[in-house]
Amino acid sequence: MPELPEVEVTRRGLEPHLAGRRIAGAVIRNGRLRHPIPNDLGATLAGQRVKSVARRGKYLLLECETGWLILHLGMSGSLRVLPAAAPAEKHDHFDLVLEDGHCLRLRDPRRFGAVVWATGDVFAHPLLAGLGVEPLDEAFDGKLLHALTRKRQAAIKQVLMDGKLVVGVGNIYANEALFRAGIDPRTPARKLGPKRCARLAHTVRETLEQSIAAGGSTLRDFVDPSGNPGYFPQQYFVYGREGQPCRVCGTAIRAIRQGQRSTFYCPKCQS
């Protein structure tokens, strides 16, 4: 389940392998992802140079000469750069083949990912147009978070995960950031004052940045672009720790369901 840090680590890993390279074509082994991969994508891409590797939220954006290849890893996707001749395994659905003999290979067992070709202003594309602020952007601060949450009666945890407000904060980091900010995840978003919004904006950023610095978190399905498993044993404060002692106060971590998602929190530290 790649979240923003994993996508950013992937982006940084891919950039030196892709930027400036020319595309030979594509191999579509199974195009039935979140959006069907068009059969003629290889023909569209062939001969184009990759100009840059960017990111918006959890979308990776390969800027090509006549458009953009938008990639999403869904919950179980991973990207690696391999020799183009390397044998494909079961869930290797898509290759972007480079002229230098390598390929960018997408593996995605659950097929929640996406490979989409877009022309024109990529940020106006339907997949990207409605996305909220980048949490690592300077614009994301307590003031903005406060303004964005004034009309939101829903629990702050669910609002924090709403990509129309702020992108890239999935379940794990929402839980972790709320713990670090000392905020009960069930608190109606609009009840948070400027002070708690400032604290939360800070911990969201801090949590994401630390995870990026660690090279991605310890996620089963994540493999970094060079092929090394992305296992950086990361200590979560609350995520997945139901019943275990809070690392700060020792109180047993609680698990509840919010909007069909698991929420973990410390009933003492987050009140």
Residues with catalytic annotation? 2-3, 58, 261
What is the CA 269 to chain-centroid distance, rounded? 27
User: How far apart are alpha carbons 62 and 229 in whole angstroms?
Assistant: 23
Q: Which is nearer to DNA, 169 or 181 (CB)?
A: 169
Which range touches DNA (CB under 7 A), out of 20-28, 47-55, 150-158, 194-202? 150-158
For the beta carbon of residue 40, count every other beta carbon within 10 angstroms: 11
- The C-alpha atoms of residue 151 and residue 61 are separated, in whole angstroms, by 32
- Is residue 104 within 8 Å of residue 17, measured between CB atoms? yes
Query: Segment near DNA (CB under 7 A), from 108-116, 132-140, 200-208, 223-231?
Result: 108-116
Beta-carbon-side half-sphere exposure of residue 133 (alpha carbons within 13 Å): 18
Query: Binding string, 201-240, against DNA, x = CB under 7 A?
Result: ----------------------------------------
Residue 88 binding DNA, by CB under 7 A = no
Minimum distance from residue 6 beta carbon to DNA (Å): 10
Between 6 and 21, whose beta carbon lies closer to DNA?
Answer: 6
Q: H helices of 113-229, where?
A: 126-129, 142-148, 156-160, 171-181, 194-213
Candidate list 32, 143, 191, 195; residue touching DNA; CB under 7 A: 32
Query: Residue 144 or residue 154: which is nearer to DNA going by CB?
Result: 154
**Is residue 110 near DNA by the rule CB under 7 A?**
yes
**170 is a contact residue toward DNA (CB under 7 A):** yes
119, 153, 228, 271: which one contacts DNA (CB under 7 A)? 153
Within 10 angstroms of residue 237's Cβ, the number of other Cβ atoms is 20
Minimum CB separation of residue 5 from DNA in Å reads 12
CA dihedral (82, 38, 15, 13) in degrees, to 10, reads -50
Q: Given the complex with DNA, which of 220 and 268 has the nearer CB atom?
A: 220
- Which residue carries 């996305």 as its tokens? 131
CA–CA separation, 206 and 190 (whole Å)? 22
Which residues sit at the interface with DNA, rule CB under 7 A?
1, 3, 32, 34, 57-59, 72, 74-76, 90-91, 109-112, 127, 130, 151-154, 158-159, 161, 163, 167-168, 170-172, 189, 259-262
